[in-house]
């Protein structure tokens, strides 16, 4: 399939750990993992998409790499072999304002859908017009307190997983799914702040692990943990209005239970 990136070395298939490392690299705009993956077919849709983004957004915000950070990447792991593959987000003409999202559908029977990354900069809809409001880009480059994000998630949805993410996890009955963001965590505990990748390059990346998602007729329920790099530093239970999550998939609607900061 044209949107699947697998190991360039057939003798050494991509592992889940390598795939996760590649997603982290893509999230911060590092294109070097592409050197170890099967090339995209010509004409390369990644490059063509990047050219469109550059033409529409000058200068690019946050020092972003448009080849990587204007789309999602997903990670799947085959049930039978354990081989991992990266799925490139594609524009969906039926839902152009959703951006370059990963379509996991073709892979759910034979693979585990273990993770995906969120973009940093505004993608384009197919006719070249810029999307007026991007979920991920509006607060990038600013410094925002993590406590504010989880205290008022609706006001700081940029940094969080979406209702669509939660609905997908529930529908596919995934025991766990990781959402990698392009933002870095500076500091610790309730004093931690979130910043765009170029602000403090040495700081770890923010990601979210969503577990134990269940659903009723009216809501989703589950638990969520925030990570700074490989280290968890915050966790909570959550509920989410199911109707809102299913109809406004790019929005957030988390209502968190009593949070816990890790030492």
Confidence of residue 43 (pLDDT cuts 50, 70, 90): confident
Diameter of the chain measured on Cα atoms: 51
DSSP state of 172: T
Confidence of residue 1 (pLDDT cuts 50, 70, 90): low
The pair of structure tokens assigned to 168 is 């997908």
Confidence of residue 12 (pLDDT cuts 50, 70, 90): very high
Whether the Cβ atoms of residue 6 and residue 33 lie closer than 8 Å to each other: no
Confidence of residue 93 (pLDDT cuts 50, 70, 90): low
Q: In degrees rounded to 5, what are phi and psi of residue 13?
A: -60, 155
Task: Kindly give, in sequence order, each residue whose CB lies less than 8 Å from that of residue 225, ignoring residues fewer than 6 positions away.
Answer: 208, 209, 211, 232, 234, 235
Closest CA relative to residue 225, chosen from 207, 200, 240, 251: 207
Over the stretch 192-221, which tens digit does the pLDDT of each residue have?
Answer: 999 877 655 789 999 999 999 999 999 999
Residue with token string 């057939």: 10
Confidence of residue 91 (pLDDT cuts 50, 70, 90): low
- The sign of the CA dihedral 65, 21, 117, 72 is positive
Outline where DSSP puts E strands in the chain.
4-5, 73-78, 84-88, 90-91, 100-101, 111-117, 144-145, 176-186, 193-195, 205-215, 219-228, 231-241, 254-256, 260-261
Give the count of alpha carbons within 13 A of 243, CB side only: 2
Give the per-residue pLDDT at 138.
46
Asked whether the predicted pLDDT for residue 96 surpasses 80, the reply is: no
Over the stretch 154-200, which tens digit does the pLDDT of each residue have?
Answer: 888 889 999 999 999 999 999 999 999 999 999 988 899 998 776 55
Tell me the average pLDDT across 111-138. Answer: 66
Pick the range with the lowest mean pLDDT from 65-79, 127-141, 180-194. 127-141
Distance, in Å, from the CA atom of 107 to the CA atom of 228, rounded to the nearest integer, reads 29
Give the per-residue pLDDT at 234.
97
Give the per-residue pLDDT at 134.
43
Tell me the average pLDDT across 128-155. Answer: 66
Question: In percent, how much of the chain has pLDDT > 90?
Answer: 49
Pick the range with the lowest mean pLDDT from 2-6, 197-201, 216-220, 226-230. 197-201
Q: How much is the pTM? A: 0.90
């Amino acid at each position: 399939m044209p949107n699947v990136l697998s190991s360039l070395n057939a003798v050494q298939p991509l592992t889940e750990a390598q795939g996760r490392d590649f997603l982290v690299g893509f999230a911060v705009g590092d294109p070097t993992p592409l050197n170890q993956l099967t090339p995209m077919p010509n004409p390369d849709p990644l490059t063509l998409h990047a050219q469109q983004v550059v033409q529409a957004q000058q200068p690019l915000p946050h020092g972003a790499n448009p080849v990587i950070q204007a789309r999602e990447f997903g990670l799947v792991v085959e049930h039978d072999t354990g081989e991992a593959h990266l799925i490139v987000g594609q524009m969906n003409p039926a839902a152009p304002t959703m951006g370059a999202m990963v379509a996991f559908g073709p892979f759910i029977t034979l693979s585990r859908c273990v993770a995906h990354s969120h973009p940093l900069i505004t993608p384009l809809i197919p006719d070249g017009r810029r999307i007026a409001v991007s979920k991920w880009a509006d607060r990038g480059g600013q410094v925002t307190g993590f406590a504010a994000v989880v205290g008022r998630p609706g006001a700081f949805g940029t940094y969080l997983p979406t209702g669509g993410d939660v609905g997908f996890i529930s529908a596919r009955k995934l025991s766990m799914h990781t959402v990698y963001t392009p933002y870095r965590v500076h500091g610790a505990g309730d004093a931690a702040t979130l910043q765009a990748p170029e602000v403090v390059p040495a700081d770890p990346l923010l990601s979210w692990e969503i577990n134990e998602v269940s659903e009723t007729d009216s809501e989703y329920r589950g638990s969520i943990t925030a990570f700074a790099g490989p280290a968890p530093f915050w966790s909570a239970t959550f509920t989410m209005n199911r109707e809102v999550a299913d109809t406004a998939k790019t929005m957030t609607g988390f209502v968190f239970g009593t949070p816990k900061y890790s030492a």
